[in-house]
Amino acid sequence: MKQLYIMLLILLSFGFTDCSNDIPPEKEKPKDEQSMFFPFKLYPTENMWTFIKLDTRSGKMWQVQFSVKDDDYRFEIPLNTTALATDLTNGRFELYSTNNIFNFILLDKIDGATWQVQWSTKPENQAIIPIKRPKF
Protein backbone atom coordinates (compact mmCIF):
# COMPACT_ATOMS: atom_id res chain seq x y z
CA MET A 1 0.00 0.00 0.00
CA LYS A 2 2.89 2.32 0.86
CA GLN A 3 4.35 1.74 -2.62
CA LEU A 4 1.00 2.74 -4.17
CA TYR A 5 1.07 6.08 -2.30
CA ILE A 6 4.64 6.72 -3.41
CA MET A 7 3.76 5.97 -7.04
CA LEU A 8 0.74 8.27 -6.79
CA LEU A 9 2.90 11.09 -5.40
CA ILE A 10 5.42 10.65 -8.20
CA LEU A 11 2.71 10.75 -10.87
CA LEU A 12 1.08 13.83 -9.33
CA SER A 13 4.41 15.66 -9.15
CA PHE A 14 4.79 15.33 -12.94
CA GLY A 15 1.43 17.06 -13.40
CA PHE A 16 2.70 20.17 -11.58
CA THR A 17 5.96 20.53 -13.50
CA ASP A 18 6.46 24.03 -14.89
CA CYS A 19 6.62 23.79 -18.69
CA SER A 20 6.28 27.51 -19.38
CA ASN A 21 9.91 27.75 -20.50
CA ASP A 22 9.22 25.24 -23.28
CA ILE A 23 7.10 27.76 -25.26
CA PRO A 24 9.05 30.32 -27.29
CA PRO A 25 8.05 33.93 -26.42
CA GLU A 26 6.73 34.66 -29.94
CA LYS A 27 4.17 31.85 -29.58
CA GLU A 28 2.70 33.46 -26.45
CA LYS A 29 1.66 36.69 -28.20
CA PRO A 30 -1.95 36.89 -29.34
CA LYS A 31 -2.39 36.86 -33.11
CA ASP A 32 -3.84 40.40 -33.16
CA GLU A 33 -0.83 41.76 -31.26
CA GLN A 34 1.57 40.19 -33.76
CA SER A 35 -0.27 41.65 -36.75
CA MET A 36 -0.16 45.17 -35.27
CA PHE A 37 3.46 45.48 -36.49
CA PHE A 38 2.63 44.98 -40.17
CA PRO A 39 0.64 47.43 -42.30
CA PHE A 40 -0.80 44.92 -44.81
CA LYS A 41 -2.98 41.86 -44.33
CA LEU A 42 -4.45 39.32 -46.80
CA TYR A 43 -8.00 38.09 -46.27
CA PRO A 44 -9.21 34.95 -48.07
CA THR A 45 -12.55 34.96 -49.85
CA GLU A 46 -14.73 31.92 -50.49
CA ASN A 47 -13.26 31.90 -54.01
CA MET A 48 -10.08 29.83 -53.70
CA TRP A 49 -8.26 32.07 -56.20
CA THR A 50 -9.14 35.45 -54.68
CA PHE A 51 -7.91 37.40 -51.65
CA ILE A 52 -8.45 40.94 -50.48
CA LYS A 53 -5.30 42.86 -49.52
CA LEU A 54 -5.97 45.51 -46.86
CA ASP A 55 -3.73 48.38 -45.84
CA THR A 56 -4.63 48.23 -42.14
CA ARG A 57 -3.47 51.83 -41.65
CA SER A 58 -5.52 53.64 -44.31
CA GLY A 59 -8.34 51.28 -45.33
CA LYS A 60 -7.13 51.04 -48.92
CA MET A 61 -7.89 47.64 -50.49
CA TRP A 62 -6.97 45.57 -53.54
CA GLN A 63 -8.43 42.39 -54.97
CA VAL A 64 -5.63 39.87 -55.47
CA GLN A 65 -6.11 36.86 -57.70
CA PHE A 66 -3.60 34.10 -58.32
CA SER A 67 -3.59 31.36 -60.93
CA VAL A 68 -1.85 28.13 -61.82
CA LYS A 69 -2.68 28.59 -65.51
CA ASP A 70 -1.14 31.77 -66.88
CA ASP A 71 -0.53 35.47 -66.23
CA ASP A 72 -3.90 36.57 -67.63
CA TYR A 73 -5.62 35.21 -64.51
CA ARG A 74 -3.02 36.59 -62.07
CA PHE A 75 -3.66 40.21 -61.05
CA GLU A 76 -4.08 42.82 -58.35
CA ILE A 77 -6.76 45.48 -58.88
CA PRO A 78 -7.82 48.31 -56.56
CA LEU A 79 -11.09 48.10 -54.65
CA ASN A 80 -10.58 51.32 -52.71
CA THR A 81 -7.81 53.82 -53.45
CA THR A 82 -9.10 56.50 -51.06
CA ALA A 83 -7.51 56.62 -47.60
CA LEU A 84 -10.23 56.37 -44.96
CA ALA A 85 -7.94 57.64 -42.18
CA THR A 86 -4.97 59.97 -42.01
CA ASP A 87 -3.16 58.94 -38.83
CA LEU A 88 -1.85 55.66 -40.39
CA THR A 89 -1.99 53.48 -37.27
CA ASN A 90 -1.10 49.85 -38.04
CA GLY A 91 -4.06 47.56 -37.41
CA ARG A 92 -6.66 50.34 -37.46
CA PHE A 93 -8.81 48.64 -40.14
CA GLU A 94 -9.98 45.04 -40.26
CA LEU A 95 -12.19 43.05 -42.64
CA TYR A 96 -14.93 40.68 -41.48
CA SER A 97 -16.51 38.10 -43.78
CA THR A 98 -20.26 37.85 -44.23
CA ASN A 99 -22.52 35.02 -45.42
CA ASN A 100 -22.45 36.60 -48.88
CA ILE A 101 -19.19 35.41 -50.47
CA PHE A 102 -18.71 38.69 -52.37
CA ASN A 103 -19.20 41.02 -49.37
CA PHE A 104 -17.14 41.91 -46.34
CA ILE A 105 -17.58 44.49 -43.60
CA LEU A 106 -14.66 46.87 -43.11
CA LEU A 107 -14.32 48.19 -39.56
CA ASP A 108 -12.35 51.21 -38.37
CA LYS A 109 -11.37 49.87 -34.96
CA ILE A 110 -10.55 53.35 -33.65
CA ASP A 111 -13.70 55.34 -34.47
CA GLY A 112 -16.16 52.48 -35.17
CA ALA A 113 -17.02 53.48 -38.76
CA THR A 114 -18.06 50.60 -41.05
CA TRP A 115 -18.26 50.02 -44.81
CA GLN A 116 -19.72 47.30 -46.98
CA VAL A 117 -16.98 46.02 -49.30
CA GLN A 118 -18.01 44.11 -52.40
CA TRP A 119 -15.41 42.43 -54.59
CA SER A 120 -15.96 41.07 -58.08
CA THR A 121 -14.02 40.23 -61.21
CA LYS A 122 -16.25 42.80 -62.97
CA PRO A 123 -15.35 46.40 -62.04
CA GLU A 124 -18.99 47.52 -62.28
CA ASN A 125 -19.85 45.11 -59.43
CA GLN A 126 -17.09 46.29 -57.07
CA ALA A 127 -18.06 48.73 -54.35
CA ILE A 128 -17.18 50.21 -50.99
CA ILE A 129 -20.25 51.75 -49.37
CA PRO A 130 -20.31 53.52 -45.98
CA ILE A 131 -22.74 51.98 -43.50
CA LYS A 132 -24.57 54.85 -41.87
CA ARG A 133 -24.67 55.07 -38.10
CA PRO A 134 -27.83 56.18 -36.38
CA LYS A 135 -27.79 59.56 -34.70
CA PHE A 136 -28.70 59.33 -31.02
Query: If you write DSSP's letter for every residue of the chain in order, what string do you get?
Result: -HHHHHHHHHHHHHHT---GGGS-HHHHS-HHHHHTT-SEEEEE-SSTTEEEEEETTT--EEEEE--SS-GGG-EEEEEE-S-S-SS--TT-EEEEE-SSTTEEEEEETTT--EEEEE--SSGGG-EEEEEPPPP-
> What is the per-residue pLDDT across 117-136, written as a single tens digit (0 to 9) for each?
999 989 999 999 999 988 77
Per-residue pLDDT at 37: 80
Over residues 83-103, the pLDDT tens digits come to: 999 999 999 999 999 999 999
**pLDDT exceeds cutoff 50 at 19:** no
Over residues 49-78, the pLDDT tens digits come to 999 999 999 999 999 999 998 888 899 999
When mean pLDDT is compared across 28-32, 36-40, 122-126, the lowest value belongs to: 28-32
